[in-house]
Amino acid sequence: MNEFTETTLSEIRRTKLQGIDLPAQMILPAYHGYSINNLPASIFKWLGKSNAPGQALAETYHQPLPGPFRKVVLLLVDGLSLRMFQNLINGGRTLTGLPDTLNPLLDKANLFGLTSVFPSTTTTALTSLWTGAAPIQHSILGYELF
Protein backbone atom coordinates (compact mmCIF):
# COMPACT_ATOMS: atom_id res chain seq x y z
CA MET A 1 0.00 0.00 0.00
CA ASN A 2 1.27 3.45 -0.90
CA GLU A 3 1.13 5.64 2.21
CA PHE A 4 0.46 9.35 1.87
CA THR A 5 -0.84 9.77 5.40
CA GLU A 6 2.10 11.77 6.79
CA THR A 7 1.87 14.31 3.97
CA THR A 8 -1.87 14.77 4.30
CA LEU A 9 -1.95 14.69 8.11
CA SER A 10 0.72 17.40 8.36
CA GLU A 11 -1.47 19.64 6.19
CA ILE A 12 -4.60 18.71 8.15
CA ARG A 13 -2.91 19.56 11.47
CA ARG A 14 -2.32 23.10 10.22
CA THR A 15 -6.06 23.74 10.50
CA LYS A 16 -6.55 25.96 13.56
CA LEU A 17 -9.31 28.05 15.07
CA GLN A 18 -8.25 31.61 15.74
CA GLY A 19 -8.31 32.57 19.39
CA ILE A 20 -8.94 29.04 20.67
CA ASP A 21 -6.10 27.03 22.19
CA LEU A 22 -6.83 23.35 21.56
CA PRO A 23 -4.66 20.31 22.37
CA ALA A 24 -2.05 19.62 19.67
CA GLN A 25 -3.40 16.11 19.01
CA MET A 26 -6.90 17.42 18.24
CA ILE A 27 -7.70 17.24 14.54
CA LEU A 28 -10.26 19.69 13.19
CA PRO A 29 -12.22 19.36 9.95
CA ALA A 30 -10.04 20.69 7.12
CA TYR A 31 -12.68 21.89 4.67
CA HIS A 32 -10.04 23.50 2.42
CA GLY A 33 -9.29 20.32 0.46
CA TYR A 34 -8.71 17.68 3.14
CA SER A 35 -12.26 16.71 4.12
CA ILE A 36 -14.94 14.28 3.00
CA ASN A 37 -16.98 17.22 1.72
CA ASN A 38 -14.25 17.67 -0.93
CA LEU A 39 -14.71 14.11 -2.27
CA PRO A 40 -17.66 14.75 -4.63
CA ALA A 41 -15.78 17.41 -6.61
CA SER A 42 -12.74 15.14 -6.82
CA ILE A 43 -14.83 12.22 -8.03
CA PHE A 44 -16.23 14.49 -10.74
CA LYS A 45 -12.66 15.49 -11.65
CA TRP A 46 -11.48 11.85 -11.74
CA LEU A 47 -14.38 11.03 -14.06
CA GLY A 48 -13.44 13.91 -16.37
CA LYS A 49 -16.50 16.01 -15.53
CA SER A 50 -16.24 19.78 -15.12
CA ASN A 51 -19.50 20.65 -13.34
CA ALA A 52 -18.32 19.53 -9.90
CA PRO A 53 -20.17 20.56 -6.74
CA GLY A 54 -17.91 22.37 -4.29
CA GLN A 55 -14.13 22.34 -3.93
CA ALA A 56 -12.03 19.30 -4.86
CA LEU A 57 -9.49 17.62 -2.64
CA ALA A 58 -6.04 19.20 -2.43
CA GLU A 59 -3.55 18.44 -5.21
CA THR A 60 -1.76 15.98 -2.88
CA TYR A 61 -4.61 13.53 -3.47
CA HIS A 62 -4.69 14.03 -7.23
CA GLN A 63 -0.97 13.60 -8.02
CA PRO A 64 -0.94 9.80 -7.55
CA LEU A 65 -4.47 9.55 -9.01
CA PRO A 66 -4.47 11.86 -12.04
CA GLY A 67 -7.38 10.26 -13.88
CA PRO A 68 -9.53 10.46 -15.81
CA PHE A 69 -11.08 7.14 -14.91
CA ARG A 70 -14.14 5.35 -16.28
CA LYS A 71 -15.28 4.25 -12.83
CA VAL A 72 -14.69 5.41 -9.27
CA VAL A 73 -15.71 3.23 -6.33
CA LEU A 74 -16.24 4.91 -2.98
CA LEU A 75 -16.32 2.47 -0.08
CA LEU A 76 -17.67 4.06 3.08
CA VAL A 77 -17.14 2.35 6.42
CA ASP A 78 -18.92 4.38 9.08
CA GLY A 79 -16.89 4.84 12.26
CA LEU A 80 -13.61 3.38 10.96
CA SER A 81 -10.83 5.81 11.82
CA LEU A 82 -7.53 6.07 9.98
CA ARG A 83 -5.66 4.69 13.00
CA MET A 84 -8.00 1.69 13.28
CA PHE A 85 -7.65 1.01 9.55
CA GLN A 86 -3.85 1.20 9.75
CA ASN A 87 -3.85 -1.19 12.71
CA LEU A 88 -5.92 -3.68 10.71
CA ILE A 89 -3.68 -3.45 7.67
CA ASN A 90 -0.38 -3.45 9.58
CA GLY A 91 -1.54 -6.42 11.63
CA GLY A 92 -1.83 -8.43 8.41
CA ARG A 93 -5.54 -8.92 8.90
CA THR A 94 -8.08 -8.70 6.15
CA LEU A 95 -11.04 -6.40 6.41
CA THR A 96 -14.00 -8.42 7.61
CA GLY A 97 -16.93 -8.19 5.26
CA LEU A 98 -14.89 -7.44 2.15
CA PRO A 99 -15.01 -10.12 -0.49
CA ASP A 100 -11.74 -12.09 -0.62
CA THR A 101 -11.18 -10.75 -4.14
CA LEU A 102 -10.92 -7.15 -2.86
CA ASN A 103 -8.31 -7.69 -0.14
CA PRO A 104 -5.43 -8.20 -2.67
CA LEU A 105 -6.29 -4.79 -4.14
CA LEU A 106 -5.06 -3.20 -0.92
CA ASP A 107 -1.49 -3.88 -2.09
CA LYS A 108 -2.08 -1.46 -4.98
CA ALA A 109 -4.06 1.07 -2.93
CA ASN A 110 -3.11 4.60 -1.89
CA LEU A 111 -3.80 5.62 1.70
CA PHE A 112 -4.39 9.27 2.61
CA GLY A 113 -5.53 11.07 5.72
CA LEU A 114 -8.90 12.82 5.44
CA THR A 115 -11.06 14.62 7.97
CA SER A 116 -14.74 14.26 8.57
CA VAL A 117 -17.10 17.17 9.13
CA PHE A 118 -18.44 18.78 12.28
CA PRO A 119 -20.57 17.51 13.80
CA SER A 120 -19.23 14.14 12.71
CA THR A 121 -22.58 12.38 12.84
CA THR A 122 -23.53 9.95 10.08
CA THR A 123 -26.35 12.22 8.92
CA THR A 124 -24.12 15.25 8.57
CA ALA A 125 -21.22 13.37 6.99
CA LEU A 126 -23.38 11.58 4.42
CA THR A 127 -25.08 14.82 3.43
CA SER A 128 -21.66 16.39 2.86
CA LEU A 129 -20.64 13.38 0.75
CA TRP A 130 -23.81 13.65 -1.33
CA THR A 131 -23.68 17.41 -1.85
CA GLY A 132 -20.03 18.44 -1.59
CA ALA A 133 -21.13 21.10 0.90
CA ALA A 134 -19.88 21.75 4.41
CA PRO A 135 -22.46 21.36 7.22
CA ILE A 136 -22.81 25.13 7.56
CA GLN A 137 -23.93 25.19 3.93
CA HIS A 138 -26.31 22.20 3.86
CA SER A 139 -27.62 22.61 7.45
CA ILE A 140 -28.30 18.91 8.02
CA LEU A 141 -26.88 18.36 11.49
CA GLY A 142 -28.83 15.37 12.77
CA TYR A 143 -31.83 13.11 12.34
CA GLU A 144 -34.26 15.50 13.99
CA LEU A 145 -34.74 18.99 12.60
CA PHE A 146 -36.87 21.70 14.13
Q: With beta carbons less than 8 A apart as the criterion, state whether 32 and 56 touch.
A: no
- Distance, in Å, from the CA atom of 113 to the CA atom of 11, rounded to the nearest integer, reads 9
pLDDT of amino acid 56: 95
The answer to whether residue 95 scores a pLDDT higher than 80 is no
Q: How many CA atoms lie within 13 A of 132 on its CB side?
A: 16
Listing DSSP states for 51-81 in one string gives --SSPPPPHHHHSS-----S-------TT--
Residue 87 pLDDT class (50, 70, 90 cuts): confident
pLDDT in tens, 116-137: 999 989 999 999 999 999 999 9
pLDDT at res. 145: 63
